[in-house]
Amino acid sequence: MNTIDIETRPFPDQKPGTSGLRKRVSVFRQPHYLENFVQSIFNTIGGLGGKTLVLGGDGRYHNLAAIRTILRMAASSGAKRIIVGRDGLLSTPAASCVIRSRQADGGIILSASHNPGGEQGDFGIKFNAANGGPAPESLTERIYRESREITSYRTLDTGEVDLSSDGEHELNGTRIEVIDPVDDYARQMESLFDFNLIHQMFNSGHFRMRFDAMSAVTGPYATRILEQMLGGEPGTVMNGVPLEDFGGLHPDPNLVYAKELVEILYSSGGPDFGAAADGDGDRNMILGKRFFVTPSDSLAVMAANAHLLPGYRMGVRGIARSMPTSSAADRVAEALGVECYETPTGWKFFGNLLDEGRITLCGEESFGTGSDHVREKDGLWAVLFWLNMLAARRESVDTIVRSHWRQYGRNYYSRHDYEGVPADAAESLMVALREKLPGLRGQRIAGRVAAIADDFEYTDPIDGSVTSHQGIRLIFEDGARIVYRLSGTGTEGATLRVYIESFEADPDLHDLETQTALIDLIEAAGEIGGIRHYTGRDKPTVIT
Ligand code: VG1
Ligand code: CO
């Protein structure tokens, strides 16, 4: 086995988006494409000499091939240890957990999250730092700059290790540890939640749940934790075997893509609780019997009840939410007397707040919730949080949420996505909106007065870094909002996301259908944005 340096030329398109570099599998399979990006990461972090790296992915097509490539590269670069999930599997939150529990210097996660997989699908790669969290913007920017200048990468001419069973190997002087992908994570979950209480609830005979792993990475995690450790009946976990192409489906836990689960929860005699996670296990959807909990409400309800759970008994130190996420959590923070931070979209912006102990819980409207236990959003953790809450309160999901609304008011909330829009049309829409902004202030729109019209800019309270152009927002005097932004995770054309929110304090008005409750704002959002004009669409592709 020899170390070899391979000459290469930069690819112009290796700029990471909201969550790492995501491209079609065919792009990643071009000669040198993956290697260039990986070497750019290594160069940016000052080489791998003597370092410990965690490596794993969501099991999608190309996962194992990429892992073998990265193993050879890391071993050729003098890494001390590489910790790999068995069969190349590690969910995103589990990778974050392992980086922290084993004090690694960082990790590489192979995933395109909820994007479809398979040979024609998407692939992705992201780098997480020693805190277990996604590389901050400053780091991804440097990696990108490095990728524009790269001339060679280092690897080994041969060298394979068996990734199908746990054990230790040596590759060019680097120790390769193949670990059970679930162990560290399951142990951490046990330390945060009251497993006995949840076990009793499952055993009572009065509680049933379904968890849809969507043929993605959470299958082994959910089966171990929900069925084996907590005593959920066999079949609690559905679609629990990770498949390279996720069964040809879209592993995105929402009402549209997790249709099978939704039908079960809405059927007569259905289970009491339903949940799903996405391709890499960081997203979650929470359902009760015939009841959908919006992710924004989920964050707020979790924050209000955290003190009931062992891992959060000391209370919540602060909360953060991404800007487009509804402001339901803000009112809980206010009631608790703690700070609520508003960050740009993407988990990387929570990192500093978590590291500094400013916040305990954080979340995004895009089915992401998490806490300071790791530095990624965590799907199964959210499910266990809800289970523990249900067991402690002995109430149903909808009772808990409705009483939350009565106490804090209800934020009607919806996101409308226009997928596959030509990139230049989407860009023109945003440019035109930006020009319109000054004129919108003080205007009467949909029976409300626009108080703020701006392009969201965030100054990180810890390191002072400034991130601009994070979404155009229109905030009305009564707290209602319309937000427009372009997705940073797509691989084809552009996706326009329009986020619509209104607040209702009156409990008599808490039972409206969401799209009906928001109809005037939805229409206004279409007109102001000139959505039909620019996209040629008269309705969104996906409504969540
Ligand atoms: C989307 C979501 C964002 C989330 C990101 C990564 O980004 O809106 O909230 O953090 O995906 O999640 P965008 O730029 O497409 O809106 V995941 O589960 O895809 O890693
Ligand atoms: Co994900």
Q: How far apart are CA 73 and CA 85, in angstroms?
A: 17
Task: State the amino acid at position 187 in one-letter form.
Answer: R
- φ/ψ of 83, rounded to 5, equals -105, 115
Q: What residues contact 391, with CB distance under 8 A and at least 6 apart?
A: 194, 197, 198, 200, 201
Smallest Cα–Cα separation from 500: which of 410, 411, 401, 409? Answer: 411
Atom from ligand 1 closest to the CA of residue 111: 20
Per-residue pLDDT of 127-177, as tens digits, reads 999 999 999 989 999 999 999 999 999 999 987 899 999 999 999 999 999
- Cα of 105 vs its chain's centroid, Å: 22
Residue 236: predicted pLDDT = 97
- Write the pLDDT tens digit of every residue in 237-284: 999 999 999 999 999 999 999 999 999 999 999 999 999 999 999 999
Q: What's the pLDDT score for residue 385?
A: 98
> Does the C-beta of 128 come closer than 6 Å to ligand 1?
no
pLDDT band at 121 (very low <50, low <70, confident <90, very high): very high
At residue 4, φ and ψ (nearest 5 deg) are: -130, 150
| Closest atom, ligand 1, to C-alpha of 113 | 19
How far does the centroid of ligand 1 lie from the alpha carbon of residue 409, in Å? 27
Distance spanning both ends of the chain, measured CA to CA: 52
Please, what is the angle between helix 379-393 and helix 92-101, to 10°? 90
What is the per-residue pLDDT across 200-214, written as a single tens digit (0 to 9) for each?
A: 999 999 999 999 999
**Nearest alpha carbon, ligand 1 atom 17:** 113
Strands, DSSP E only, in 231-358? 237-238, 273-277, 284-288, 291-293, 318-322, 339-343
Distances (CA, A) of 261 to 340, 360, 379: 33, 30, 16
**Residue 233 DSSP symbol:** P
Q: Is the pLDDT of residue 438 over 90?
A: no
Catalytic annotation present for 113: yes
Nearest atom (ligand 1) to Cα of 490: 15
Pocket flag, ligand 1, residue 115 (CB < 6 Å): no
Domains and CATH numbers, the chain: 3-181 (3.40.120.10), 185-408 (3.40.120.10), 410-543 (3.30.310.50)
CA quadruple 514, 516, 517, 519: dihedral, nearest 10 = 120
Rg (CA), the chain: 23
488 pLDDT higher than 90? no
Q: What share of the chain is helix, strand, coil (3-state, %, to 5)?
A: 35, 25, 40
The answer to whether 178 and 165 have CB atoms below 8 angstroms apart is: yes
Q: Is 488 touching ligand 1 by the criterion CB < 6 Å?
A: yes
Strand partners, 343: 322
Identify the active-site residue in 19, 76, 101, 113.
Answer: 113
Beta-carbon neighbours within 5 Å of ion ligand 2: 113, 278, 280, 282-283
The residue whose CA has the least distance to atom 1 of ligand 1 is 489
- Residues 227, 233, 235, 236: what is their CA dihedral angle, to the nearest 10 degrees? -60
Tell me which ligand sits closest to the C-alpha of residue 22. Answer: 1
Average pLDDT, the chain: 96
Q: Which residue from 266, 254, 285 is spatially nearest to 386, judged by alpha carbons?
A: 285
